[in-house]
A and B are shown apart, each in its own frame.
Chain A
């Protein structure tokens, strides 16, 4: 193995000497680096199951960025290895170990489900594998579990809903009831909203929860009608979000008690929600009609590559690749210079389709959170709810 490498290097050098005389020196850089194997990127995403569509969009976004760079990041070829995590936390550790151990992935990108992502974080911490989370929002990943080799290109749960607290308080809303699923993402998003809302003088009438992933809301909607709060703030996603929004409208509550939510309440679900979603305001780090050059160019390129309309998940995948690119470029494709690479990633300033994107000490994105309203079957931007929102990274010991 090693002798073969030496031979190939010698051949290369001979070739290089010859080539130099022909004055094609710029062409040399690529073969000089190609003596290293391609950088192996492990994509651990849900390719089947409830989150399959999200996984596919993240995958497409990531590959789109790499293609735009000619299949190379920092001049180094990129090779992919895929694992379907099926959004199953119980299989997450095994899957991650397979990627890092048998497949020898240099970088792992994953995943959507927070429970799976936290299991991956644990393995990444133990094996010091470079990891970028392209969706899962669990606060802990860039909180108590933060590590130099762990980055996030998406959001923390705290981040997406915290700005909404002030938005509602500023709108003169005093009294809000909250509804969500009783699990980590739900409580983190509701708590961040409540934290900011009460800080600005608001009062939480009642925090209602439904066991995850149950979708029977009728009893709680009746409860809302009795409580008569000024507004309802909620978080659901996927099928649950569609049913909740439709049930809320069918119960006639929307006429007197406006519904607000975390952005996921109306993201990727609008076709099924139909008119019931009209006028619902949510906060997220993206809006469908963001009129900035990076977004316009991204949506066009994504459409050309996949035939689909890009969304936040595609953007998060795209930015994960951009973040990796920032690191790889700083070290000229040599990922063995880890400290330098990680420092460059931490200091990266990315012109993301979602707007300016940088990273805090815990490697969570610092980004704008937008206030959006559902109009014309899209989440259209109303305003920037809060500029450059930085997660407090509670419990993170990175300086």
Chain B
């Protein structure tokens, strides 16, 4: 493999990792801070992509689709938290798995009623639809590069909110010790609601942003859900920085696995996960005790 090809593959790996991070960040927030296993995360990712397709088809604008899609997902997240999820805090993980699995079925059926079961594609914004010539016969879509930049911005925003703001402080305190935070008079329950809604909105945002490069189809969330869990477990549950590291590692492993060991590429990321968990049972950036 010459240097140019290696460079292109590296770009592929990083870009794939960024996409994984965007989707997994919401999962790690909900999982780490609320302690809720949300199996429906992939379903919200799919819902985001379908919303992007639907709104963009009506309004002709990808940006409107993005803002409206995230807003809808956020509101849905608030309602779901209020009606269902808040009853699950501190309860057995099995109950959470059952509820969120039920949500998958409901969302899939709702998608079928609202949008049907056809495959759709979404056009990226016109000024991002070009491509850059990389080698004599290979070019790279500008939109893929834009996703990288976008993911970096989202990552920075999440990081800033959690480490530098009062809300972030409450969130961290609540994740550390729920009872003590309540005793101190902090309305942790309200914060919970917003954390969950943000998690759902991030999943939908992932689906929306990825829609132009990954066509919109039923079941697109299933594979992404599994990968997101791998990212979260690999990076350390609840750690946003960990999710970023985990996502990049998986991007690299998957891309170069496909190039160098094509016959076993599908299991390489799981081998990686097993190896990391042997070395650090709480994930790369996970806290010592959970």
Contacts and interface: CB of A to CB of B under 8 A. Distances in A.
Contacts of B223: 213-215
Interface string B215-234: 11111100100000000000
A297 interface: no
A253 B139 CA distance: 8
A250 interface: yes
B118 A53 contact: yes
B137 A211 contact: no
Interface string B246-281: 000000001110110011011000000000000000
Contacts of B137: 225, 228, 252-253, 255-257
Interface string A208-232: 1111011110111111011010000
A73 to B, nearest CB: 31
A49 B254 contact: no
A239 interface: yes
A246 interface: yes
A80 to B, nearest CB: 22
Given A239-B217, A250-B131, A222 B119 contact: no
B131 A222 contact: no
Contacts of A273: 121
B177 interface: no
Contact of B119 (A210, A239, A252): A239
Contacts of A182: 266
Contact of A219 (B2, B9, B112): B9
Given A213-B223, A216-B254, A250 B138 contact: no
Interface string A192-221: 000000000000000011110111101111
Contact of B138 (A210, A211, A216, A252): A252
Given A250-B131, A272-B119, A222 B15 contact: no
A215 B254 CA distance: 12
Nearest to B137: A256
Contacts of B140: 251
Dominant secondary structure at the B interface: mixed
A244 to B, nearest CB: 9
B59 interface: no
B28 interface: no
Given A214-B266, A239-B220, A272-B120, A223 B259 contact: yes
Nearest to A212: B266
A274 interface: yes
Interface in A12-26: none
B82 interface: no
Nearest to B258: A219
B25 interface: no
B155 interface: no
Interface residue SS majority, chain A: helix
A356 to B, nearest CB: 32
Interface string B109-151: 0001000011111000000000101011111110000000000
B192 interface: no
B96 interface: no
Contacts of A215: 214-215, 220, 223
B8 interface: yes
Contacts of B1: 226
Contacts of B8: 222, 225
A87 to B, nearest CB: 10
Interface residues of A, number: 41
A146 to B, nearest CB: 31
Given A272-B119, A272-B121, A219 B219 contact: no
Contacts of B259: 219, 222-223
B62 interface: no
Contacts of B220: 215, 239
Contacts of B120: 272
Nearest to A245: B215
Contacts of A226: 1-2, 5
B100 interface: no
Q: Which of B13, B216, B258 has the most CB of A within 10 A?
A: B258
A52 interface: yes
B217 A53 contact: no
Nearest to A52: B117
Contacts of B215: 215, 239, 242-243, 246, 272
Contacts of B31: none
A238 interface: yes
A48 interface: yes
Given A239-B217, A252-B138, A256-B137, A218 B121 contact: no
A242 B119 CA distance: 8
A246 B121 contact: yes
A238 B217 contact: yes
Contacts of A221: 138
A306 to B, nearest CB: 15
Contacts of B2: 226
A85 to B, nearest CB: 15
A383 interface: no
A269 interface: yes
A255 B133 CA distance: 12
B198 to A, nearest CB: 26
Nearest to A211: B266
11 contacts: A49-B218, A49-B219, A50-B218, A53-B118, A209-B262, A226-B2, A251-B139, A252-B131, A253-B138, A256-B137, A257-B137
Interface of B: 1-2, 5, 8-9, 12-13, 15-16, 112, 117-121, 131, 133, 135-141, 213-220, 223, 254-256, 258-259, 262-263, 265-266
A-B residue pairs, 7 tightest by C-beta: A239-B217, A252-B139, A211-B266, A225-B138, A242-B215, A218-B12, A219-B258
Given A219-B259, A252-B131, A272-B118, 6 more contacts: A242-B121, A246-B215, A251-B139, A252-B139, A257-B137, A274-B121
